[in-house]
Amino acid sequence: MLKLRDVRKSFTLPDGSTLPILNVERFEVAAGEQLVLAGQSGSGKTTLLHIIAGITRPDAGSVSFDGTDLAKLSEAARDRFRARHIGYVFQTFNLLPGFSALENVVLGMSFCGTKVDESRARHLLDRVGLGKRLSHKPATLSVGEQQRVAVARALANKPKLLLADEPTASIDARNQQQVLDLIRETCREEKVALLLVTHAPIVAEQFERVEKLEELNRVNEVAAR
Amino acid sequence: MSLWKIALRSIEQRGIASVLTILSMALGVALVVVVLVVHGVIDKTFRTTAGGYEMIVGGKGSPLDLVLNTVYHLGRATEPMSWTFYKEFLPEGKYGGYVQHAIPYCLGDNYEGHRIVATTPEMFTSFEFAPGETYEIGAGRNFGQAAALASGEKLPERKPAKVLADDDDAAAEEEHHHHHAAPPFVNEAVIGALAARQTGLKVGDSFKPTHGVTTSAEDGHEHDPVKVVGILKPTGTPNDKAIFMNIEGFFLLDGHSKSGAHHHGPLPEEEREVTAVLVKTNPEVQMAGMLVSKNINEGQVAMAVFPVAEIRRLLDTTVGPVSTLLLIVAGMIVVVAGIGIIVSIYNSMNERRKEIAVMRSLGASRFSIVSIVMMESLLLALAGGVCGFVLGHALIGLSGGFLLDKTGVQISFLQFPMWEIPLAQGALLVPIELVLLPALIMLAGLVGYFPAVAAYRTDVSRALSNAT
């Protein structure tokens, strides 16, 4: 489903010099697969997720998603593609504080160009255990509940791939496992592939496939040569 | 979820800042509405009302004072003229041939602040309060001779209206004696609709006029009672707040003699004075108005003025520029309020960068984000506009009494002066405040542009990295 080939990304520093961040020769995710991308802080995990999501365009290489090369699409086309096919869960949930739980999920449906399906939003919130807290604003929900809303929002458009960037890092230990289980179960039910970024071994060890970014990313090898 | 709803939620989220922004916009718009409506109503009323009077003749002085005093019941009464001069306008008088109707107009008393105008019944039968608009008596009847006839009294034979100077002593004596005969006229009044409402006077009631044109007059002694015989239907002119009484009754009241001497019975002609003469010229005589006014103005006794011209001059040279200045000031307040919208949205951009980035990650395009910010600006401006519209009309309603006192113009909460937009066929009438709508939309677009550009340039990747 997702195939990255020779993806390279570097940033320009304030002094004008270039800092290479990523050089991934090959990375693939199959449909419905669940895997972990592990790596230390600053290793480029989030940058890679942004490239896969189409938020950032790589300097070189291809990001093929079901045959569509995101790297060649215009920004507007990438936005539309992301809205329809990719869900995103953040470490700090990033719910919009002025919107209720239901509205936050509905918001996730608002940019993909199709009719908003509020019943699906209600169903998803019910699925994540918040069926009775639809009208609650994020500030009145616990951190665990907020992340459940974020999961429901990410799945609102029936994406093919869910990108989860350290989704349990901001949650207390008791809720971490619940949220993780919830993400994995719902992805399975919805037949959504899951690419979960984490640096926590306790999370990584629960997945059959764990990719270490340090091993994928050849940027240091190239620099050393 | 529509972009409009997202913009609305964003406004709600910044509650206090949004309310303050809307309030400042509302104040600016309210001021514009007040200036537009008040100026529109005053302008229209002044021009229309003046159109009901063709020519006014009064004592030498300021032509504008004469018009304001006679037509709008404003300011101090101008210098009076002799009754003899008034008689020049009667059929046998010097100007008789040029005049269709001429009636005396005397001021000097008030009742609870409402000016009392002493005149003849022809005021309501031969004159109009606006072009093509005749007076109608809503309750009761007109005053004057009709009353005497109705009561079965025999009207005295009035002497032919000859110029007094031509009379010999015997005739004058006879005239004098005649005036001392039993008074055929009782003190009767027809009151304006507003005066009736404000004083509570009804047909059949009596009231005692107070000497002086205003309640603050020093010589404020009360006169004998005057009976209300009729109430005029509303005219929308300053005459609604006036009280009209028959001039013979007026001259029967104490203190209205030229010399100040006390007289029993009707006042002799040499003791009579009039504040003004309302003149309708003879349409069969070409240039009658010009000829009469030229003749009068060349003399030393009086002046003749055309109210329409005087009011046009007043509105064009004084009221208009002042209104324009006020409008500019009010417009500047709206612009400052618009800058307030920029500041409000721009200041929130730091915290919004994260929200924008989140929405972008959910698939929102840059165009959607720009649209949301522009809609937010538009909603703030329109909310301020609507609040300002209501506030402006509330201010107009509250200041109605003050305006009535100072300008003689009635204005109410739901007053919408119309703007006439000429079309190929006829004209389209729109409330004058509607001009504000496109202006507000343009302003919102302008002030929304800057924060929208900032939103457009948001680096999603960096904002998300900072957020996570």
B268-325 residue pLDDT tens? 777 788 899 999 988 888 888 888 889 899 988 889 999 888 888 888 888 788 878 8
Give the chain B residue whose CA is nearest to the CA of A77: B365
Interchain CB distance below 8 Å, A94 and B468: yes
Q: CA-to-CA distance for B223 and B210, rounded, in angstroms?
A: 6
Provide the H-helix boundaries in B72-199.
Answer: 83-87, 122-125, 145-150, 169-179, 193-199
Same domain, B322 and B292: no
**Containing H/E element for B233?**
none
Same domain, B298 and B337: no
Residue A177 clears pLDDT 60, i.e. is over it: yes
pLDDT at B24: 87
Task: Indicate if B71 and B197 belong to the same structural domain.
Answer: yes
Whether residues B31 and B143 fall in one domain: no
Q: Do A79 and B363 count as a contact with CB atoms less than 8 A apart?
A: yes
Q: What is the pLDDT of residue B39?
A: 79
pLDDT score of B451 more than 80: yes
B155 pLDDT band, cuts 50/70/90, is very low
CA–CA distance, A219 with A222 (Å, rounded to integer): 5
Query: Which chain A residue has the Cα nearest residue B369?
Result: A111
The domain in which residue B268 lies consists of 55-305
CA distances from B48 to A4, B44, B129, B130, B132 (A): 81, 6, 9, 6, 10
Would the pLDDT of A16 be above 60?
Answer: yes
Using a 10 angstrom Cβ sphere, with 0-12 exposed, 13-18 middle and 19 or more buried, the burial of residue B60 is middle
Amino acid at residue number A95: L
Of B83, B82, B85, nearest to B95 by C-alpha is B85
User: Which residue of chain B has the CA closest to A76?
Assistant: B365
Same domain? B263 vs B177: yes
B74 and B121 co-located in one domain: yes
Tokens 């500030």 sit on residue: A139
Is a pLDDT exceeding 60 seen at residue B183? no
Q: What Å distances lie between residue A135 and A99, A104, A119, A132, A141, CA to CA?
A: 9, 10, 14, 8, 11
Question: Residue B437 domain-assigned?
Answer: yes
- Residue at B50 is within a domain: no
Decide if B363 and A99 are in contact by the 8 Å CB cutoff: no
Q: Could you tell me if B241 and B351 lie in one domain?
A: no
C-alpha span between A152 and B226 (Å, rounded): 85
Structure confidence at residue A52 (pLDDT): 94
Higher confidence at residue B215 or residue A144? A144
- Give pLDDT, residue B452: 87
Is residue B183 a part of any domain in this protein? yes
Q: In chain B, what residues touch A111 (CB-CB under 8 Å)?
A: 359, 362-365, 368
Q: Is residue B358 part of a domain?
A: yes
**Does one domain contain both B291 and B379?**
no
User: What pLDDT is attached to residue B415?
Assistant: 73
CB of A4 closer than 8 Å to CB of A218: no
CATH superfamily of A2-224: P-loop containing nucleotide triphosphate hydrolases (3.40.50.300)
Number of domains in chain B: 2
Does residue A134 have a pLDDT over 90?
A: yes
**Based on the domain organization, do B210 and B85 belong to the same domain?**
yes
Whether residue B393 lies inside any domain: the answer is yes
Q: Please count the residue pairs, one from chain A and one from chain B, whose beta carbons lie less than 8 angstroms apart.
A: 85
Angstrom distances, CA of residue A193 to CA of A27, A85, B52: 14, 11, 85
Instruction: Provide the token pair at B452.
Output: 């929208």
Of B3, B358, B465, the CB nearest to A46: B465
H helix and E strand count, chain B: 17, 17
- ipTM for the predicted complex: 0.85
Residue B168 counted as domain residue: yes
